[in-house]
Amino acid sequence: MADNMNNEPGDVQPNDEPLDIKPTDTGERIVPILIQDEMKNSYIDYAMSVIVGRALPDARDGLKPVHRRILYAMKEAGMTYDKAYKKSARVVGDVLGKYHPHGDTAVYDSLVRMVQEFSLRYPLIDGQGNFGSIDGDSAAAMRYTESRMDRISNEMLADIDKETVLYRPNYDGSLKEPTVLPARLPNLLINGSTGIAVGMATNMAPHNLGEVIDATLMLI
């Protein structure tokens, strides 16, 4: 009885009858819902979307979606370590047009980080030109720099053409993209990762590849 006295008029209690579904004149249905339930469900959906789709790496290949799409686009364009460098703007255009429609700056900044030896212990992209400095100097515009996959990235994409991973439709359903790369290398361990999502974050340190291999053999 005392609990009910603290409730405002119109408050819905857990023991109340289910909310009625009200039909409209147009045949649609209006379903009353509690705002706290809707906010909880919407927050969880948004958080999972950010975690899975943008902010945190997949433990299997250690890559966020934008990094995975950059490497896959370079592989599809034939920009392997043994081929000539090509303009970074071409890579950014392919990634934007085919897989990642989130702005050219976000894609290019991610590509630049994959080149920088002071950002990754084992860079995944081989760059030519000004890709910034450890002192905070920004990279040159994408039309001036050139890039290609680094030799180590071949191990990240090895056997991808042999149905080793699952594919999903891209954002407009016109192409397929891998959900994860085959990744013969333990990229998450050797390069680490940093990411801030919704309600979750990660900051993993990089490790020496030789030591990771020794630890794996010891574990086996």
Could you tell me which of 90, 219, 91, 195 has the C-alpha nearest to residue 153? 91
* CATH code for the domain of 140: 3.90.199.10
What mean pLDDT is predicted for residues 143-152? 97
**Structural domain contains residue 65:** yes
**Structural domain contains residue 51:** yes
Active-site positions? 144
**Structural domain contains residue 172:** yes
Per-residue pLDDT reduced to its tens digit, 12-23: 455 555 556 666
Tally the domains of the chain.
Answer: 1
Looking up tokens 């891998």 gives: 178
**Structural domain contains residue 89:** yes
This prediction has a pTM of 0.80
Could you tell me which of 124, 122, 105, 104 has the C-alpha nearest to residue 114? 124
**Structural domain contains residue 177:** yes
What is the CA angle 86-72-217, rounded to 5? Answer: 115
| % of the chain with per-residue pLDDT over 70 | 88
**Structural domain contains residue 210:** no
Phi-psi region of 119 (alpha: psi -120 to 50; beta: other; left: phi over 0): alpha
**Domain residues for 60?**
47-182
Looking up tokens 């590849």 gives: 209
**Structural domain contains residue 73:** yes
